[in-house]
Structure 1
Amino acid sequence: MQLVTSIASPAVVGDCDVLLCAGFVDKQYGLGMLYKRLNPRLCIPPAVIDELAKHRRSNNGHLRGSAEKILGRRAVFINRIEDNSQLNARRAVRREIELAEERLAKSRGRDYRPKPYGHSGEIQGILAAHNAGGIFLSNDRAALFVAHSRGIPIATYPTLLAAEIRDGALLAEDASQVCSSIVDIGWSCGVSDFSALRLTELIVPDGI
């Protein structure tokens, strides 16, 4: 994984959850798709690398295997970008994510308790995407809301599949089954409705 100071435009800043999805599914829906669509523009901040390294030691076989693939030789096209953000900027994004999480929890009739730690990958990713004029790629709904509210183009793992469908490289029904396989192991794929019809309707930003 190489360190870059400048990224081809438009940069795509990836969050841990999307990368794990790509590592879990078959290559044509995962690492192969990332390479085809995003090389050499995909980058990840230090906190996401730390999260992947942690998952690489997980007792959960799905997490461990996916992280291993992402951090392994087949992921040499993923660039590492430094986090040069200021503390006040990180605190502001954290607070916005917490407020978005609270609204989501209330909309579902759930109690909300902010996490004292966490969100570092999303925070660094949002700020990096903003600074690079790039796209924020994540399945975290609160983080996506914050990025969108800041005028940052956003995408989820299903957005990548939708781009493949649009280009005629993937059937919508197959893409829906891929999303279902992710949800079946308890992971979020970034959207609540991943039916074949809905996937064909997703907005794909330029650069995905």
Structure 2
Amino acid sequence: MKKLAVIALISSLSLPAQAGFWDSLFGGGDSKEAAPEPATEPNKEPPPPAAESSASASSSMAATGMQLLPLLSQSLGVSGAQAAGGMGSLLQAAQTLLSNSEFATIAKAIPGVETLMRAAPAVSAATGGGGMMGSAMDMASKYSPQAKAGSELVSQFKSLGMGADMIPKFTEVGSSYLQQNGNGEASTLLSSAMG
């Protein structure tokens, strides 16, 4: 009998505390009790909506730009490092050969272009390599910006373990990627710079 009285007393004391729980489940009760107060941490304000949307937009753009690397790896059978370094080298050459506004068109179409360009290997002093052909390329690069960019590009691809024959392949995949993503002008500019 005493146990039953104790259980009844505990139940009657806990009912008011649980009333809000039962009301929220079944939609009953006073509207003041049903509306939960937002949980906030002291001294912590939620970020402004504009900041959230711009952050998600920029991360989305970066993800879009980085989709190019797996495409290069799959299409050309190169490693991730070779894809990043090769595309970065291509972009460095394009920046040298195009006007600022033309290169800005490409940079806008490939978010994260600065990161890709930093992945390009450094250009050595003697860019053309050994032999007569290398010497001729080194000499021509002193007089022609196109020859210099081409010579540096060959050197960079060589240091990545790829031959000069990979340069047009990288250009083709990069241009196709830009075209498929609705950046026809950037695609044309990249192709013409590497042409």
Please state which band the TM-score falls in when normalised by the shorter chain.
0.3 to 0.5
| More strand as a share of residues | 1
TM-score of the aligned structures, taking structure 1 as reference length:
0.35
Higher relative contact order (CA 8 A, sep 6+): 1
Computing the radius of gyration over CA atoms, which structure comes out larger, 1 or 2? 2
Structure showing the higher helix proportion among its residues: 2
